[in-house]
C-alpha cells in the first residue's frame, strides 16, 4: 500500500542507457522503465506508469529492487519475487506484477542492444 500511495523513483532519466516499455493488452495499462548503467550496475532506475494501483506499486517495488543491482542480478527479478516483496497481491492483480519485471527486462535488452554486450 505504501508503494502505491508513495511510489519511489517516478519519472524519466534524461539520456537513459536503456528504455523498456510494456503494456497489458487486457486492461490497456502501460509501463515504461528507464535505466542508467555504470560498471555493469543499474545506477539509476525510474519509471512512468499509466495503470492501476497494483501496477504503480509494482513499478515502485521493481525500481527499488533493481537499483544498485548488476545487470545479471536485475535479470533475476521475477513477478513472483516482486509480489512477495509487496507482501502479496490479490490474485486478480497478479498479472499487474508481470508488467514491472517485463518492462525492466526490456530496458536491459535495450541497453544490451545499444552497447553490444551479451548478458
Taking CA atoms, 96 is separated from 25, 50, 60, 69, in Å, by: 11, 12, 12, 23
Question: Which has the closest alpha carbon to 48: 34, 66, 36, 35?
Answer: 34
Question: Grid coordinates standing for 109?
Answer: 535488452
Give the single-character DSSP code of 92.
G
Q: Does 112 bind ligand FES (CB under 6 A)?
A: no
Which one from 2, 12, 27, 43 is the annotated catalytic residue? 27
For the question of residue 52 being annotated catalytic, the response is no
**Contacts to ligand FES from residues 29-88, by CB under 6 A:** 29, 51-52, 54-55
20/51 with CB nearer ligand FES:
51
Catalytic residue among 58, 96, 101, 108: 96
Number of residues interacting with ligand FES: please give it, by CB under 6 A. 10
Is the separation of the CB atoms in 7 and 59 below 8 Å? yes
Which residues sit at the interface with ligand FES, rule CB under 6 A?
24, 27, 29, 51-52, 54-55, 93, 96, 99
The residues carrying an active-site annotation are: 27, 96
Amino acid at each position: 500500500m505504501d508503494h502505491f500511495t508513495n511510489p519511489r523513483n517516478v519519472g524519466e532519466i534524461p539520456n537513459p542507457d536503456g528504455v523498456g516499455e510494456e503494456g497489458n493488452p487486457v486492461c490497456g495499462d502501460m509501463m515504461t522503465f528507464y535505466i542508467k548503467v555504470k560498471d555493469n550496475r543499474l545506477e539509476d532506475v525510474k519509471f512512468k506508469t499509466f495503470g492501476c494501483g497494483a501496477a504503480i506499486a509494482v513499478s515502485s517495488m521493481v525500481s527499488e529492487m533493481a537499483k544498485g543491482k548488476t545487470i545479471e542480478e536485475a535479470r533475476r527479478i521475477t513477478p513472483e519475487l516482486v509480489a512477495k516483496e509487496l507482501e502479496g497481491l490479490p490474485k486478480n492483480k497478479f498479472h499487474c506484477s508481470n508488467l514491472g519485471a517485463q518492462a525492466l527486462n526490456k530496458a536491459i535488452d535495450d541497453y544490451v542492444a545499444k552497447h553490444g554486450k551479451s548478458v
